[in-house]
Structure 1
Amino acid sequence: MTKTVPAFELFAANATDHPGGALPGGGIASGPEGYSVLSYQLATDVLRNPRFANSALKLMEEFGINDGAVHGFRARSIIMQDGAQQLRLRTPLARFMGPATVQNTREMLTDIVTRIVGELDDTKPVDFHAGVDRRIPSLVYCHLAGAPRTDAPKVQELSERTLALLARDPSLKPDILAAYDELFEYLRDLMERKRAQGLGDDMLSHLMTLADNGKLTEQELFDEATSMLEASSVNTGHQIGLVVWNLLRNREVWEQILADPTWIPSAVIEALRLYPRTGVVSKIAMEDIEVGGITIPARTDVHVAVWSANRDPKRFEKPGEFVLGRERNQPLTFSTGAHNCLGQGLAKVEIEEVVGHLVRHYPQARVVDSESAISQTAGRWTINQLTVDLGPRR
């Protein structure tokens, strides 16, 4: 007997009316965009299964980017690799992004957050997204890449424009291609500057040294550097703002954090569970694969609904509620398996430092809902404006 697959349009405007987890017909559904994986366990299984490949290259090709430098970069990029090649390319970055780097970055972040918040006019409501959360990740990138801080606005812009691909809007193709060309030019110039000045102990110097020692080819070096810059800013910037937005609007939780700031890491994880910036991870079945009793044909699109998996009642008790100190709180916001987000440790630290700064200096901060614009499109939470009344500084 063939199992009936429930219907679900993942990218429809009302998709998030679904509270999370499996539908009555099961944890996998079908729609015009392909299959949607809605339950936590099936989402975990798909994300960890190497027989599902990242769909970023296919998305480019659907935009009409079928050849050239941008297509070549994506085909070679680490997110498109699996097995030994993926491990070989990922290992240098993973080692550099370990606990020591995260801790060193935390110390530097305190200075960054203090400086940029100090530039705000806190006597009136401020756009926290434009003034703070958008700016932090690019400054962190400059620190990690050994680039001057003055490059941060350019880095932020390039990350935002290249990853506009994820908006699934083909009209953006000309600007996306132009943005990658600018990114390639910027990286070539940055690496030339670094060689002229002498390599340091930053991540980009680390990759360049590996290439000099024959452990990476020059093309692999450039591709890794491109991936590092591309992913550096836009998603983390929005995620910082989403956490701040969530916490400042949940006054009971905010008061608990003010009374005991050691709750900050737990609060951040719970906010990440409820409002993941990357709400959908798209894959392609590389062969016929059974998922949840359904056989998915080869070359079929499979979209993991992270926002639904993160609210699965079979995995999270009271999934729609903010539970401070929730046990076994392992949301899929940063994915899982071999392709989990390399920068998740840094992203969490960036968010924690922003929340900590507000706790220490602006305990009365509140979101001005009427002047804020938060939306969800194509599975991604997006901040267009986050207006915050910081209140008196202490």
Structure 2
Amino acid sequence: MGARRFDPWSPEFVAYPYEAYADLRENTPVTYFEPTDQWLIARYEDVNALLRDRRLGRTYLHVATHQEFGREPDPEYLAPFWHVIRNGMLDMEPPDHTRLRRLVAKAFTPRMVESLRPRVQKIAEELVAGLLAAGGGDLIEAVAEPLPVTVIAELLGVPEPDRHLLRPWSADICGMYELNPTREAGEKAVRACQEFSAYLRDLSRERRANPRDDLISALAQVVDSGDRLTEDELIGTCVLLLNAGHEATVNVTGNGWWALFRNPDQLAKLRGDLSLLPGAIEELMRYDTPLQMFERWVLEDIEVRGVRIPRGSEVALLFGSANHDPAVFADPDRLDVTRQDNPHISFGAGIHYCLGAPLARIELQCSFGTLLRKAPDLRLVREPEWKPGYIIRGLKELVVEV
């Protein structure tokens, strides 16, 4: 019954998937979904465990060919896309993942990330000032999108005149993460990967020769026991940092403000006590999860709640459902900015836990905090519409007045 209500191509489902998730959790927590050839995993306990289970992987190509896994080879036209993506750590497994993450972590240190806070705050204040001067507008276009894009562009070292290129490239590449992407989406992603790769190749070579105080220079120079990133790995890493470094942050901002507008008591509570903000950010990530599903390949036969899932299968881990599981979260469908016990999995878990989580938290705290302080009368003009995408789930716009 649950799988029939799970309809990721339905605008109504995308707008509010949580009733269908409740049905899945209660009736069919592990179920095969034929339209995408995936096993849906709906309960927190199972999602959390499978994210950490080394019998699953983000890829299977380190243990088998496409044919050995009963899968069709990649279409030839997608080769440039997969070349970029598979040189980033998200689509690697150990030992390659371990090596690459260690190298990137040497450049992307917690201390370096925390040192960005004053600059992130300044960018947030400038963007909010623009929104205030205009008397309002689209909060996503005015604040939510430009903040993380500007931060990641400055962090990488992308010159200001080129930064307008980043958001379109990222959007086109991320189109391939939706379920059953079309040929058109694939061609747009390929074009974006080719253009972005060529740009980063030139930039990284220039920074290798003439290093500056930016992440591309640091990645180009980083060495650990004689090991270093290849040029393709550096490019794959930068593409991943851009995509992961702003798509989710944009949607937490938009989805989060929409949730606060729908729950005025919680918005009032937050406005009255800004010390609640760090916990409120975690609650907004849980309440309307920006990345609804994460996929894994089954590398060895597994059993989940008595259901055998054979090697070669793909599981769809439903983050949005896990984050609303009443077995873990008291009254999960209620937004509570004072929620204390909040082990949400919006950043994942296990070896692929989001490396950029500390930066995302800084960006969100600066963005929400500045809007709460500088725009205390911020209000919604009209109910927003959702973008059609289900996996990376966010609003088309969020029009506000100040």
What TM-score, normalized to structure 2? 0.87
Structure 1 residues 187 and 247: alpha-carbon distance in aligned structure 2, compared to 1, 3 A threshold: same
Of stretches 212-221 and 273-282 in structure 1, the one that deviates more from structure 2 is 212-221
Task: Confirm or deny: 8 A CA contact 2:3 2:24 kept in the other structure.
Answer: no
Secondary structure at 1:156's aligned position in 2? helix
Deviation at 1:174, TM superposition (A): 1.6
Distance 2:223 2:27 in 1: 51
Residues 134-191 of structure 1 deviation map (CA, whole Å, 9 limit, x = unaligned): 1111111122112223332211221111111123331312211111111111102222
Aligned to 2:51: 47
Deviation at 1:61, TM superposition (A): 7.0
Deviation at 1:345, TM superposition (A): 1.2
Gaps of 5+ in 1: none
Distance 1:182 1:56 in 2: 27
Aligned to 1:237: 250
Deviation at 1:214, TM superposition (A): 4.2
Distance 1:79 1:367 in 2: 37
The answer to whether 1:118 aligns with 2:96 is: no
1:162 pairs, out of 169, 173, 179, with 173
Distance 2:287 2:60 in 1: 25
Task: Confirm or deny: 8 A CA contact 2:60 2:299 kept in the other structure.
Answer: no
Deviation at 1:75, TM superposition (A): 3.2
Aligned to 2:161: 150
Distance 1:376 1:330 in 2: 28
Task: Confirm or deny: 8 A CA contact 2:2 2:20 kept in the other structure.
Answer: no
2:20 pairs, out of 2, 18, 25, with 18
1:81 pairs, out of 77, 92, 96, with 92
Task: Confirm or deny: 8 A CA contact 1:141 1:232 kept in the other structure.
Answer: yes
Structure 1 residues 194 and 16: alpha-carbon distance in aligned structure 2, compared to 1, 3 A threshold: same
Secondary structure at 2:311's aligned position in 1? coil
Of stretches 145-154 and 158-167 in structure 1, the one that deviates more from structure 2 is 145-154
Distance 1:324 1:239 in 2: 14
Task: Confirm or deny: 8 A CA contact 2:44 2:323 kept in the other structure.
Answer: yes
Deviation at 1:192, TM superposition (A): 3.5
1:210 pairs, out of 212, 216, 222, with 222
| Matched ranges for 1:244-263 at <5 A | 244-263=257-276
| Alignment-mate amino acid for residue 222 of structure 1 | I
Task: Confirm or deny: 8 A CA contact 2:87 2:232 kept in the other structure.
Answer: no
Distance 1:85 1:291 in 2: 28
Residues 208-230 of structure 1 deviation map (CA, whole Å, 9 limit, x = unaligned): 00269642333333332333234
Structure 1 residues 150 and 233: alpha-carbon distance in aligned structure 2, compared to 1, 3 A threshold: farther
1:187 pairs, out of 181, 200, 209, with 200
| Alignment-mate amino acid for residue 159 of structure 2 | P
| Matched ranges for 1:62-77 at <5 A | 64=75, 68-77=79-88
Structure 1 residues 254 and 209: alpha-carbon distance in aligned structure 2, compared to 1, 3 A threshold: same
Aligned to 2:347: 334
What TM-score, normalized to structure 1? 0.88
Of stretches 10-19 and 44-53 in structure 1, the one that deviates more from structure 2 is 10-19
Distance 1:177 1:216 in 2: 23
Task: Confirm or deny: 8 A CA contact 1:6 1:28 kept in the other structure.
Answer: no
Task: Confirm or deny: 8 A CA contact 1:249 1:367 kept in the other structure.
Answer: no
| Alignment-mate amino acid for residue 330 of structure 2 | E
Of stretches 164-173 and 260-269 in structure 1, the one that deviates more from structure 2 is 164-173
Deviation at 1:309, TM superposition (A): 0.3
| Alignment-mate amino acid for residue 340 of structure 1 | Y
Aligned to 1:374: 386
Secondary structure at 2:297's aligned position in 1? strand
Q: How many residues align?
A: 383
Percent identical = 24
| Matched ranges for 1:260-271 at <5 A | 260-271=273-284
Structure 1 residues 358 and 75: alpha-carbon distance in aligned structure 2, compared to 1, 3 A threshold: closer
Distance 1:341 1:278 in 2: 12
Deviation at 1:376, TM superposition (A): 6.2
Deviation at 1:301, TM superposition (A): 1.6
Deviation at 1:21, TM superposition (A): 7.8
